[in-house]
Structure 1
Amino acid sequence: MKVDTEMERLLDEIPMLHHGDLLGRRDAAGDDGGGGGGFDVSCLIRELAEMGVVEGDDDDGMLSSPPGFFGGGGGGGLSPTSSLCFVGQDGGDQHGCRFLQQRLDDGKREVDFIFAGVARHAVELMVNPFGNYLMQKLLAVCDDEQRMAIVLTLTKDPFVLVRISLNVHGTRAVQKLIESLRTREEIQLVVEALRPGFLELIKDPNGNHVVQRCLQSFDANDNKPIFEAAAVHCLDIGMQCHGCCVLQRCIARSGGEQREKLVAAIASNGFELAQDAYGNYVVQYVIDLKVPTANASLTKQFQGRYIHLSMQKFSSNVVEKCLKVFKEADKATIILELLAVPHFEQLLQHPFANYVIYSAIQNSKGSLHSALTNAIRPHVELLRTSPYCKRIYSRALLKK
């Protein structure tokens, strides 16, 4: 009884992380506040070893279980508190977490004991380089009640789940959490906990995977807060490397009114997005949807600016897409604008605009096509020598 009382006292002395310490600041023991520096129970493990509750291996720092620890001998199985002893720092973390993961395969009794020992430390473990794997395995085998307890632990304080999702280790554990959710209540708790950080998550190299996992795992109704945030911040999100991918995924996973609002918001910012290294992909994605109102909005913004867009690296791709997808009347507007430029040969020699001219030849017909080829023929000698004109000259029609 004395040993059990002393062990409980030591366990209660393990520092609980609060929001100010959790993941949010660097310390001497961890490089990012979440890489294992905030959860050190190595001293506890040593004391427990001295008390005979666990055995320490002097050779490699790995912990071994005493007789009866998992149901053998006369010890009565793994206790709820002693399971925590295997989640220490450095080598103890690695071997201990692996040991506990293996024991999770031994049946519900072991799952219950391990859950009781580590569940209240879910936040710390999820951002631990080794503990996150233990949490992922636990989420895969725990029952509905246990999963809800973990969800409540992770969502009771604002921004905690967001900070975990931004962590390089935590993002994996949160994605596993999202995959494991079964009830509408669990999903709503998680989505609401992530809501304050949607913009930061979408643009983050770790956090964007959490948002994409929500889009993949939940239905359109549950993802409504994500769609709303994406529509409001579409310009900011679309002009960022991770954000442009999430934005396209949002369009693909949404439907009905939510999709209409999102596409309309992107189209209304089409001119700015088209000129961006990442935003141009979002605009091309919207053009390919062939939504009449969206393409009409883009046409209105682009009209009178096609020369400007054609002579830029990223927006020239958008003009090419317009020539492939837009209706014939809108294609004619683009081509007539190209033909009206005072020095047409400058477009032929331009490193980006020459691709637009090539697409115009491919996607025009009738009198408009003839007008285009007639404007090109006087510069045939230039086409032969300029490095940017060879593709245009290679067209069989222009060789005749």
Structure 2
Amino acid sequence: MVQELDGSVMRCVRDQNGNHVIQKCIECVPEENIQFIVTPFFDQVVTLSAHPYGCRVIQRILEHCKDPKTQSKVMGEILGSVSMLAQVQYGNYVVQHVLEHGKPHERSIIIKELAGKIVQMSQQKFASNVVEKCLTFGGPSERQLLVNEMLGSTDENEPLQAMMKDQFANYVVQKVLETCDDQQRELILSRIKVHLNALKKYTYGKHIVARIEKLVAAGGTVSSLSSMNGY
């Protein structure tokens, strides 16, 4: 039955209904019997990852195709276009999938690729979700890299300030507070607290204020919280 699809694979992948059949083939049929399905994707991985149905099929391949050549080819194309895929409507799901389920070195490649663009990416609807996944699944040193970038190189606080007022980036700041260690949280909160009153005037800044108040109500595990009670 699966063999009947030979010659029509790409048409099915791009079809609203057909893509579900291709996904099931990848999930249920032994890998050696579906090479005719997988091979046409080579050199098309980025295009398919940015497609509303193709992105689902690429995720199934990442999950079920263990052949080293297939893994290397598909992953290589994804990692070569991380910045672009992170910013598009469907491609960001593929990058998130690798961050959540990929190997540590694949995760590191993604985070290193996005480093230097974290503030800009956090202010975008789709890429901000990728940055949140970087914070959730990155290792301690990778998370530190991202936190340093958000805090900026001086006490001026400009990147963090801009993020707290942004409709998408404010969620990234909340994710930082949720995922960082106590020492990092101490530093971030000390930077945030000087802007708390100003943040209350911004629609999205209020989300940060609410998160800080929640931390205070929870007992404030960080010493700098005690001085916020009077804000």
* TM-score class, shorter: 0.7 to 0.9
Tell me the residue number matched to 2:39. 228
For 2:184 and 2:28, how far apart are their aligned partners in 1? 49
Letter in 2 for 1:355: Y
Q: What's the TM-score, normalizing by structure 1?
A: 0.49
Instruction: Note the 1:51-130 alignment, pairs <5 A.
Output: none
Shift, 1:372, TM fit: 0.9
For 2:182 and 2:23, how far apart are their aligned partners in 1? 46
For 2:42 and 2:112, how far apart are their aligned partners in 1? 20
Deviation digits for residues 243-273 of structure 1 (CA, Å, limit 9, x no counterpart)? 1111111212211413343233222221111
Tell me the residue number matched to 1:278. 90
* Most deviating of 237-246 and 385-394: 385-394
294, 298, 301: which is aligned to 2:106?
294
Instruction: Note the 1:1-400 alignment, pairs <5 A.
Output: 177-178=1-2, 187=3, 190=4, 193-194=6-7, 197-257=8-68, 258-340=70-152, 342=158, 344-394=160-210, 395=212, 396-397=215-216, 399-400=228-229
For 1:280 and 1:260, how far apart are their aligned partners in 2? 20
Shift, 1:226, TM fit: 2.7
Shift, 1:240, TM fit: 1.0
Give unmatched runs, 5+ long, in structure 2: 217-224
For 1:292 and 1:225, how far apart are their aligned partners in 2? 30
Tell whether the 8 Å contact from 2:119 to 2:159 is kept in structure 1 after alignment.
Answer: no
Structure 1 consecutive aligned stretches of length 4 or more whose deviation exceeds 6 Å: none
Shift, 1:366, TM fit: 3.4
For 2:198 and 2:38, how far apart are their aligned partners in 1? 50
Letter in 2 for 1:245: R
Give the count of matched residue pairs: 211
For 2:42 and 2:183, how far apart are their aligned partners in 1? 41
Letter in 2 for 1:255: K
Letter in 2 for 1:371: L
Letter in 1 for 2:43: V
For 1:251 and 1:325, how far apart are their aligned partners in 2? 17
Letter in 1 for 2:63: A
Q: Which has the higher contact order (CA 8 A, sep 6+)?
A: 2
For 1:300 and 1:378, how far apart are their aligned partners in 2? 31
Shift, 1:219, TM fit: 0.9
**Alignment RMSD, CA only?**
2.0
Tell me the residue number matched to 2:219. none
Cα 1:369–1:392 change in 2 (3 A) is same
Shift, 1:384, TM fit: 2.8
Shift, 1:225, TM fit: 3.3
Deviation digits for residues 64-109 of structure 1 (CA, Å, limit 9, x no counterpart)? xxxxxxxxxxxxxxxxxxxxxxxxxxxxxxxxxxxxxxxxxxxxxx
Tell whether the 8 Å contact from 1:268 to 1:298 is kept in structure 2 after alignment.
Answer: no
For 2:196 and 2:190, how far apart are their aligned partners in 1? 11
Tell me the residue number matched to 2:220. none
For 1:274 and 1:231, how far apart are their aligned partners in 2? 20
For 1:389 and 1:335, how far apart are their aligned partners in 2? 18
Shift, 1:351, TM fit: 0.2
Larger Rg over CA atoms:
1
For 2:137 and 2:105, how far apart are their aligned partners in 1? 14
For 1:379 and 1:270, how far apart are their aligned partners in 2? 34
